[in-house]
Structure 1
């Protein structure tokens, strides 16, 4: 039996099925949970050494579940893998105890490198500066996080109409 136990917490069943198969081939014992509440229930009995956690799920957010997962599995390395990345959530996840933070899509090699299981290639310095649209997206996410996810309070703080903010937040994150 493998000593490396990986808990995948993500609400995309197709993604988790493929990811679990790939990680099992690499020697991990894998448990998949489709929401944070199920992960918290099963974490203690599974005792993961690694946790791959999505942020944006129905019910409890991965960011909210992160400290509780670390309390259940104190020695576990946690990598946050999300399609809705922002600087604010990356900082919050790291402060809450995440080992690393990745944006989807990520390869198996990138995920293992984030856990520290494989040698990571040095990150290249981007040739283009961050776009204004991306900076706006990250600023909106930070202000939203500062207001505990309250859209109305965030819109007031930003001096914009609530519906305008909702439209901006409904869009997928802007690429770098």
Structure 2
């Protein structure tokens, strides 16, 4: 069971690597898009764990080329910035699953195991957690804001939103909702 871990956070990558090696995976780590494609070509992994945000690049851009290199590999997108839009994009591009960080070992192993794989992507490892539309929007705004290094004007332009509207949205953090 060969696994390629594409993650720019070295500490998190090493932790995941140790956890997965305890469960029988042989792991390789890459922290850039170019290194990931080279490692995918060189090691021919059966599984690929792909971070969505790699430095200033998007892991979404790697899904298609990796799928072409390894059509039978199981590709799991990991992200600290979950949103419905990126989950849909990832699945449309060819990812097999979508998990939010931090991810527990059992959830990760269930996503990696093809026999236990579900037909629908996993959007959150916390099954009791249901995100409202406002929470999804908030998470997306935070992701774009971080990408723009906190620049509200650039974020508003990227989101096609008036700057004052964005500022109002940033002042109102939505409260989590729980399902029964």
Aligning the two structures, in what range does the TM-score lie when normalised by the shorter sequence? 0.7 to 0.9
In structure 1, stretches of 5+ residues that fail to align are: 145-149
Structure 1 runs (4+) greater than 6 angstroms displaced: 120-125, 141-144
Instruction: Find 1:45's aligned residue among 42, 46, 49.
Output: 42
Instruction: Find 2:158's aligned residue among 154, 157, 160.
Output: 154
In the superposition, the TM-score normalised over structure 1's length comes to 0.74
Pairs within 5 Å for 1:91-170: 91-117=88-114, 119=116, 126=128, 130=132, 132=134, 134-137=135-138, 140=141, 151=155, 153-155=157-159, 157-161=160-164, 164=167, 168=170
**Counterpart of 2:94 in 1: which secondary structure?**
coil
Relative to 1, partners in 2 of residues 1:174 and 1:8: Cα closer, same or farther, differing over 3 Å?
Answer: farther
Q: For this pair of structures, how many residues does the alignment match?
A: 161
CA distance in 1, matches of 2:8, 2:138: 23
State the match for 1:147 in structure 2. Answer: none
User: Greater strand percent: which structure?
Assistant: 2
State the match for 1:66 in structure 2. Answer: 63
In structure 2, stretches of 5+ residues that fail to align are: 146-153
CA RMSD across the alignment:
3.6
Tell me if the contact between 1:81 and 1:103 (Cα under 8 Å) persists in the aligned partners: yes
CA distance in 2, matches of 1:12, 1:18: 10
Instruction: Find 1:56's aligned residue among 49, 53, 57.
Output: 53
Shift of 1:175: 5.8
